[in-house]
Homo-oligomer: A and B are copies of this chain.
Amino acid sequence: MKRVTMRIEFDDSRWIGWGKVALLDAIARDGSITTAAKSLGMSYRRAWQLVHALNTMFQEPLVQSDRGGTDGGGTTLTPLGQEVVTRYRRVEGRLNMLTQQAFHELEQRLAPPRTRRTK
């Protein structure tokens, strides 16, 4: 199995999936939305949209910039942002184990991989 991804939908417009969490992780690591976006191969515009969605989802923001505008003086996760990432990763780890167990046998019955067709 390559991986299993999950998306937690709070309602029709608010959800957290692997892309948003990967961005939060990258921001925590890089201290910058611009650098985080680059490291994920994501456009800055897209990253900013996701950060905006994340920062208006809860009563408090998940991402904060220390000074002035975005990336002005370093960008970090708030305690709430860190908690969202931690809880998501914890559930994801359990999901990975459950899926490995449940699909281990079925995976042995996958068809042989096909060579890529040229369109």
Contacts and interface: CB of A to CB of B under 8 A. Distances in A.
Interface in A1-52: 1-12, 14
Given A2-B12, A8-B4, A90 B106 contact: no
How many copies the complex holds: the figure is: 2
Chain A interface residue bracket vs B: 35 or more
B91 A95 contact: yes
29 contacts: A1-B8, A1-B10, A2-B10, A2-B11, A3-B9, A4-B8, A4-B9, A5-B6, A5-B9, A6-B7, A6-B95, A8-B103, A11-B113, A58-B106, A58-B109, A58-B110, A58-B111, A59-B109, A60-B109, A80-B106, A80-B109, A83-B106, A87-B102, A87-B103, A88-B102, A91-B95, A91-B98, A91-B99, A91-B103
